[in-house]
Each structure stands twice: as C-alpha cells, then as structure tokens.
Amino acid sequence: MTLSVTVVSAPAKRLLATLLPIALLSAPLPLLAQPNAGGENQDVNNGLPLEEIQTFAEVFERIKRAYVEEVDDRTLLRNAMRGMLSELDPHSAYLDEEEYQSLRESTQGEFGGIGIEVGMEDGQLMVITPIDDTPASRAGLLARDIIVAIDGTPTDSMSLQEAVTIMRGDPNTELRISILRSGEEAPREFTLTREVIRSESVKHELLESGYGYLRISQFQSRTPEQAREALEQMAREQPLDGLILDLRNNPGGVLQAAVGIADLFLDEGLIVYTEGRLSDTEMSFSASTSTPASDVPLVVLINGGSASAAEIVAGALQDQRRGVIMGTDSFGKGSVQQIMPLGNGEGLKLTTALYYTPNGRSIQAQGIEPDVEVVRGRLEVAESRLEIREADLEGHLSAQQAPRDRQKMAERLSDDYQLSEALNLLKALNVVDRRRG
C-alpha cells in the first residue's frame, strides 16, 4: 500500500481555516465527500469537493511564496473570483467598485468614453455595436469588428471588464484602438477622442408624408416612455400610414424597457418569458391593452449589431405576426444578467436565465432571422447611354427645386439601402391593404 501525504504550509492552513467555515455554512448536508466503491472521492448530495479546496489553498500558498514578484492576498483572492466568473460565460463578471459604478452609469445613459458596446466571442474582444452619434460611430466602427489592441496593448489577455475600464476615461483624452475587420488581413488603426456619452435612446422623424421612423439605439429605463411620446407626436402631425422601427446596432439594455417597447405595438399576447434555475428568475411578460400603435403597418430593421433586448422586441413582433422583420441575422445574445451588489461596494454580473420568444424560440447563439433579408449597402442608380428622358430634350421646362429637407432625405435613403427598402415595403403593404379594402 502506498501512502500519499500532502504537506500544507502555514499560510495555506490559514486560508483553509478561512474557507472551510464558509464552505460548511453554504453547503447542503451531508457535506463531506466520501469514497465510492471504486475508491474515488465523490460528492454526496452536491457536497463540497474538499480536496479541491485544499488544492486551491496550496496553489495560493505557492504563488505567495514562489512567484517572481510579491502579490498581496487581496489581489490573489480577487483574481480567483474573477476567474470563477469569467470561465462561466462571456457575460458573467466580478465587478470591482470602479467597474460596478461604470456599469450603473452606462445603464443610466451617461458615461465618459468612445461609445461602443463590446463583448467576447471565442476569446476575442468584439464590437457588438457603436452607439449612435459618438466618436466610435463617427469614425466608422462596425458591429463584429475585432479589437486586437487598445493603446498598443494586445487584448488577447484582457478580460471584458478590463477592456471596458481602459476604454472609458475623462473627456477630451485620446484612445488608440486597432481593429480587424472581417475579410481584411491587416488591422485598421483608429485614434478617437473620448466624450461624455449622453446617449439619447430614442429618435424619430417623418421620412415622407404618413411614414414615420422610430430609432431606438439602446434600451434604458425611460426608453418606452420616450418612444410613446415620439409616436404620439408623429401621429399629431399626421395619421401614420406606416412606421419603421430601427433596432440596428442596438446592443440591448434593460429587459423591462424591451417589454415596454413591444407593448407599444401589441395589445395582447405573450412578449417574452425567461427560464433559470431559481424560481425568481422564471418570469413572463404579456402585452397590455394600452397600445398607441396597435394597427400601424410596421417594418422592423435588425442586423448583426442587434442584441439582447433588441432581439426580444424583434422576436416578439415576429412571433405575433405584428410586423415584417427586415435586414440581416441578429447577434444572438439570449441570456439574462442580474447585477448583484456586494456589501463592499463591488458587485457581480451573473447570468441567471435564458429568455424565449412567445413561440418558445431561444435566441441564445442563434439570433433572430429576418423575414426579408436585406444586406447593408448603398443605393446606386445605373446609367445607360441609350435612355433619353425629358430632361435631355433641348428647351425642356425646368423642374421646381425640391425643398432642402426633401433633398437631404433622398440622399439619406440612397446612402441607407436597408432603410430605403423598408420604406418601399411599407408603401407596398399599404397598396395591398387598400386593394383588399
């Protein structure tokens, strides 16, 4: 018989003395792992793996004693907690006090930075979407751009929270990022100047007489209220024959805000439900009868930058056959994170549930597939030397100059092919409805 003995040093013993009482209090009974018939240790009723706890204490002690630089206990323990969460999924994270405050600021809609929503995919830091009218969007950053370096530091060893912390900062300071775009071999370099990002989540306008445009750039607590006011204002100007709801490059946000937006267009039925391990993570949200735009023809624009709460809205409207979803496949983030404050001013961002569309579809890693696929592009008018029009005839009468706002709108529609096609579809739907009537 071979006897194996593990020597545990004094620092490790002290750590074990700290960890074991916590483990005993948090574990179900019976706690201790017992050998099975094969001689291997197994947990009984999910008892704690005491050998792994002892190994953890031993690793802690060896780092303390032998690492090339001295590391304090607080740093090691926080790194361990970060590791616990970062290995679960790309969206769970341990938040120190600064990171926790930063996340609260972004939810409230004001923070200092360049204006991008980022995430991790296959270990790479990726742009989910640039926020409208920010340094990132003006510089031309796109959804799914891979950020390979920040201020010259490679991102392959950064956590998501570390990258966010570095990119945020005081206004009027510069930030250099290197991005790798799909189909390109060499990274692109961008130098951006940070601003105070005050993101207005709702914008609206009339594209043409009777055709409204509602842009939601992210879901904040006041987004449903602002969207309702926008719809009422457009309706006061003139009755709406159709509406385009633009959710492109919308990274998501507050779940309840997404429910509120869907409720503006639905007067009954399920909007979204969530499922998790705990009973309080299982929720269901349905539409109310107070609906300002229940019968306006609707086209919803999505793309690869439409994520999370934006996908909830698109999925609900698609399943309820309330509107036509147009664009390209959405991002595919179908998980729910809870922000859990800790007693020391820090917090956890923990994935606790998955959400599902009314028909039971999971969005996670799949996304929303549009009813009509229209890729991003610019509308170009082909020229032909064989065509002769009135304007080519000598002595033709000159047309009246179009108002400046109409010229600007025509230019905008030519620059945004998806928006132009959405407007054309709304007009076609109205023609069909009139013929049916």
Segment 252-271, tens digit of pLDDT: 988 999 999 999 999 999 99
| 25: confidence class by pLDDT, cuts 50, 70, 90 | very low
Q: What pLDDT is stored for residue 296 in this prediction?
A: 93
Segment 290-315, tens digit of pLDDT: 889 988 999 999 999 999 999 999 99
Domain range for 31: 10-71
Catalytic residue among 201, 306, 308, 420: 308
Secondary structure of residue 48 in the 3-state scheme: coil
User: Does residue 13 have a pLDDT over 80?
Assistant: no
Phi, psi of 43 (to 5 degrees): -80, 135
User: Does residue 34 have a pLDDT over 70?
Assistant: no
Residue in the block written with tokens 């802690």: 60
Q: What pLDDT is stored for residue 426 in this prediction?
A: 94
Q: 193 and 207 share a domain?
A: no
116-122 mean pLDDT: 85
First to last CA, the chain: 91
Q: 364 and 224 share a domain?
A: yes
Segment 216-258, tens digit of pLDDT: 998 988 899 999 999 999 999 999 999 999 999 998 988 999 9
335-350 mean pLDDT: 90
The pTM assigned to this predicted structure is 0.70
Q: 147 and 191 share a domain?
A: yes
Side chain identity at 255, as an amino acid letter? L
414 found inside a domain: no
Q: Is 279 a catalytic residue?
A: no
Catalytic residue among 137, 159, 199, 333: 333
Q: What are the C-alpha distances in Å from 208 to residues 119, 237, 241?
A: 37, 12, 10
β-strand partners of 350: 338
| 386: confidence class by pLDDT, cuts 50, 70, 90 | very low
Q: What pLDDT is stored for residue 131 in this prediction?
A: 82
Q: 190 and 206 share a domain?
A: no
Catalytic residue among 319, 335, 349, 420: 319
β-strand partners of 327: 302, 373
Q: Is 427 a catalytic residue?
A: no
| 429: confidence class by pLDDT, cuts 50, 70, 90 | confident
Q: Is 319 a catalytic residue?
A: yes
Q: Of the residues 319, 346, 373, which one is the last residue of a structural domain?
A: 373
Q: 282 and 158 share a domain?
A: no
| 332: confidence class by pLDDT, cuts 50, 70, 90 | very high
Query: Residue 64: CA atoms inside 13 Å, Cβ hemisphere, count?
Result: 18
What is the DSSP secondary-structure string of 179-248?
EE-TT-SSPEEEEEE-EEEE---EEEEEEETTEEEEEE-SB-TTHHHHHHHHHHHHHHHS--SEEEEE-T
